[in-house]
Chains A and B, each alone.
Chain A
Amino acid sequence: MAVKKFVVGCFDDEGPLFDAVKKVRKSGYKLHDVYTPFPIHGLDKAMGLRDTSIHTAGFLYAIFGTTSMLSFMTWVFTKDFPLNVGGKPHFALPAWIPITFEFTVLCACVGMVITFCYLCQLAPFVKKHHFHLRATDDLFVMVIECTPKTNESEVSSFLTSIGAKEVNVQNAETGWWLGTYDKDQKLFEGQSETVSA
């Protein structure tokens, strides 16, 4: 990844975001991302993001769980360890349903969480640039990437015109790096830096 230049606009309400995103995309600016303190339904669609297919991954893990556990138990009780318990059948499918089900759920859930962490690049000791510390508190932070053609002051005034309460320009690494959050990070200043509404 590389360090790029971004124009950052902070909104204090999720209401204007939909309109703002629409206008940004219409104006042809390169929308990097919108950081929000909680999920906002429909914003991903408005930004033109495609649906996630993480649930499809979950389905595949589930199928793996079902087939592997069933075939494993079949191999154990019909080939490797065919124990005769009062003449009961070796291939005891009804008795294997609980374990097959539990293992299916286990595979699907563990697999999906690992996939989620991989896709979002989440792990301990992973550090990322945060455009505004209050993006996890009460600000909705829209970040526009500057291309060689972009005029920063024009983007800044554009963001103000569509409702951003606070606008600034930042150079930032777009990817993640190994690090912890106690270093090189501006500490939270409290409510004193409330943006003027």
Chain B
Amino acid sequence: MALLRYESQVRPPLVENDKTYHQVTEDIVRPIEANPSRLWWIGFLISVALLLFGVYSIYREVTYGVGQWNLNKTIGWGWDITNFVWWVGIGHAGTLISAILLLFRQGWRTGVNRAAEAMTIFAVMCAGQFPIWHMGRVWMAFFVLPYANTRGPLWVNFNSPLLWDVFAISTYFTVSLLFWYSGLIPDLATVRDRARLKWRKYMYGLLSFGWTGSTKHWQRHESLSLVLAGMSTPLVLSVHTVVSFDFATSVVPGWHTTIFPPYFVAGAIFSGFAMVQTLLLISRKVLNLEEYITIEHIEVMNKVIVLTGSIVGVAYLTELFISWYGQNPNEGWAFAQNRLNLFSPYGWSYWLMMGCNVISPQIFWFRKLRRNLVVTFFMSVIVNIGMWFERFVIIVTSIYRDYLPSSWSTYYRPTIWEIGFYLGTFGLFFTCYFLFSKFFPVIAVAEIKHILKRSGENYKKNMYHIEKETPDHLYNETHGDHH
């Protein structure tokens, strides 16, 4: 057998136990062909219930106006934009895994990229809801698009960060969807060709676009994936940069922070990886995919979490330092009084954020804790709570006490419909994710097969003899004159 590629013994296998190509197909496609489990139904129904509550909350908001939310003169959008930034941030990990790690040739991404990309798409869908419904007269939402209209020469303001957001988020959604679906086509063809039921053959026949697996098509597919990854990488960095511009380009004390772009991107990846952990820890258990989403994968992602969490921590401290060093009295007051002061109305949220995002992830310096599933799951939830409060701190503690003390609103509480809207997006997210895990391969089948002979446990076992080969011999075998 010609040796196709070689990977060091030092690296632990990415696919556990003895697997053949057919076994990989069986393992990953089985949950699609089998009836959903009881756990799946429970989760799905809870998600749909949350979604319906969200729909009702939105119905209230549209019918009676934005007054259904407890917003006031200085807090123009509290939970609303907090949730928007939070969801967009969560999406970022999916693109990081699928695009940036593809460019860096990280083999472990293959086990988790499909689910992470799906998470990106659903998270961006949830994020998009907040600015759209906050418009109040939502049927006018198309006004944000630059289209030729009859209202005289009248265009959107291309100089406004809010319009940059429109372009950034819609491009991000479209590109993520295309990237995800083009990767899915070969795997949907696998499901199609195994289908025994007529409707399944019909559905997956439509979805797989008539994919055959021709070598020429694979060549184009690989090229397409690589370029899409190359485009998504700066795109994902730009998206949260643009989101941070919503704040950083304004003149509100507390937002005079030029490090917002990298700080937001690091925070986005941080919270996104936490959400990937939450979803995958559940998926691997419910769908029996422990051999593909291994402890190694969990550990690697925990390393990313401790890294990005520490970057976020450095950003918090830099911000604090600059607010003092910058000698702007308003900026300094926003940090010293609205945030650092534990006894100010929202001081608790700042310290909650510090605890969840900076201090608690440090436990992942210990290998034992990185590889502990219970700790990981618990931490993934803690991190996302912390990251929600980060956005809450940035937004609410900056705007609840502005220059005019008479309009200070020292306590902003959300109404049930504001909370309901947020819960509704959880419903949307998890409804989509449950449907995805039932009808689509949660792991990229073709990509796992592609790395199987390099990183599969049974193949790695036989690799030790290769280490003794001379480099010349290896090169001839791998690159042998195929022409």
A residues with CB within 8 A of B: 13-16, 18-19, 21-22, 33-49, 51-52, 54-55, 58, 72-73, 76-77, 80-81, 83, 85, 88, 92, 95-96, 98-99, 101-103, 105-106, 108-110, 112-113, 116-117, 119-128, 130, 133-138, 141, 176, 180-182, 185, 187-188, 191
Q: Are B146 and A180 in contact (CB under 8 A)?
A: no
Docked Cα-Cα span, A135 to B204, in Å, equals 16
Q: Are A81 and B193 in contact (CB under 8 A)?
A: no
For this complex, 17 residue pairs linking A to B, each with C-beta atoms less than 8 Å apart, are A15-B2, A16-B2, A18-B2, A34-B214, A38-B446, A39-B221, A39-B222, A81-B155, A83-B157, A98-B245, A102-B168, A103-B167, A113-B178, A123-B209, A134-B22, A141-B213, A188-B194
Name the 6 nearest CB pairs between A and B, nearest first. Answer: A181-B205, A15-B1, A138-B21, A46-B482, A122-B209, A126-B210
Given contacts A35-B214, A39-B219, A54-B224, 6 further A-B contacts (CB under 8 A): A13-B1, A18-B2, A46-B482, A52-B223, A113-B224, A128-B210
Q: Are A182 and B201 in contact (CB under 8 A)?
A: yes
B192 in the interface (beta carbon within 8 A)? yes
Docked Cα-Cα span, A128 to B210, in Å, equals 6
Question: How far does the Cβ of B213 sit from chain A's closest Cβ, in whole Å?
Answer: 4
Q: Are A95 and B209 in contact (CB under 8 A)?
A: no
Q: Are B210 and A44 in contact (CB under 8 A)?
A: no
Q: Are A136 and B190 in contact (CB under 8 A)?
A: yes
Q: Are B202 and A180 in contact (CB under 8 A)?
A: yes
Closest to A141 in B: B213
Question: How far does the Cβ of A11 sit from chain B's closest Cβ, in whole Å?
Answer: 11
B12 in the interface (beta carbon within 8 A)? no
Contacts of B211 in A (CB 8 A): 122, 136
Contacts of A135 in B (CB 8 A): 193, 212-213
With A13-B1, A128-B210 given, is the CB distance from A47 to B215 under 8 Å?
yes
Q: Are B193 and A105 in contact (CB under 8 A)?
A: no
B231 in the interface (beta carbon within 8 A)? yes
Contacts of A138 in B (CB 8 A): 20-22, 25
Closest to A74 in B: B158
Q: Are B202 and A38 in contact (CB under 8 A)?
A: no
Q: Are A136 and B186 in contact (CB under 8 A)?
A: yes
Docked Cα-Cα span, A52 to B226, in Å, equals 12
A-B residue pair count with CB separations less than 8 angstroms? 232
Question: How far does the Cβ of B15 sit from chain A's closest Cβ, in whole Å?
Answer: 13
Question: How far does the Cβ of B365 sit from chain A's closest Cβ, in whole Å?
Answer: 37
Closest to B196 in A: A187
Docked Cα-Cα span, A141 to B219, in Å, equals 16
**Contacting residue for B205 out of A21, A113, A127, CB 8 A:** A127
Contacts of B194 in A (CB 8 A): 133, 137, 188
Q: Are A109 and B159 in contact (CB under 8 A)?
A: no
B residues with CB within 8 A of A: 1-2, 4, 20-22, 25, 146, 153-155, 157-159, 163-164, 167-168, 170-171, 174-175, 178-179, 182, 185-186, 189-190, 192-196, 198-199, 201-202, 204-207, 209-224, 226-228, 231-232, 234-235, 238, 241-242, 245, 445-447, 449-450, 479-480, 482-483
Q: Are B215 and A137 in contact (CB under 8 A)?
A: no
Contacts of B1 in A (CB 8 A): 13, 15-16
Docked Cα-Cα span, A72 to B146, in Å, equals 10
Q: Are B446 and A39 in contact (CB under 8 A)?
A: yes
Contacts of B238 in A (CB 8 A): 98, 101-102
Contacts of A34 in B (CB 8 A): 214-215
Question: How far does the Cβ of B102 sit from chain A's closest Cβ, in whole Å?
Answer: 13
Docked Cα-Cα span, A141 to B195, in Å, equals 20
With A99-B158, A105-B171 given, is the CB distance from A137 to B219 under 8 Å?
no
Contacts of A119 in B (CB 8 A): 220
Q: Are B447 and A121 in contact (CB under 8 A)?
A: no
Closest to A95 in B: B159
With A54-B223, A55-B223, A127-B210 given, is the CB distance from A99 to B164 under 8 Å?
yes
Q: Are A191 and B155 in contact (CB under 8 A)?
A: no
Closest to A124 in B: B206
With A52-B220, A138-B21 given, is the CB distance from A180 to B174 under 8 Å?
no
Question: How far does the Cβ of B166 sit from chain A's closest Cβ, in whole Å?
Answer: 9
Docked Cα-Cα span, A130 to B195, in Å, equals 14
Closest to A106 in B: B171
Q: Are B193 and A108 in contact (CB under 8 A)?
A: no
Q: Are A105 and B235 in contact (CB under 8 A)?
A: yes
Q: Are A36 and B215 in contact (CB under 8 A)?
A: yes
Q: Are A109 and B231 in contact (CB under 8 A)?
A: yes
Contacts of A38 in B (CB 8 A): 186, 218, 446-447, 449-450
Question: How far does the Cβ of B23 sit from chain A's closest Cβ, in whole Å?
Answer: 9
Q: Are B218 and A22 in contact (CB under 8 A)?
A: no
Closest to B221 in A: A39
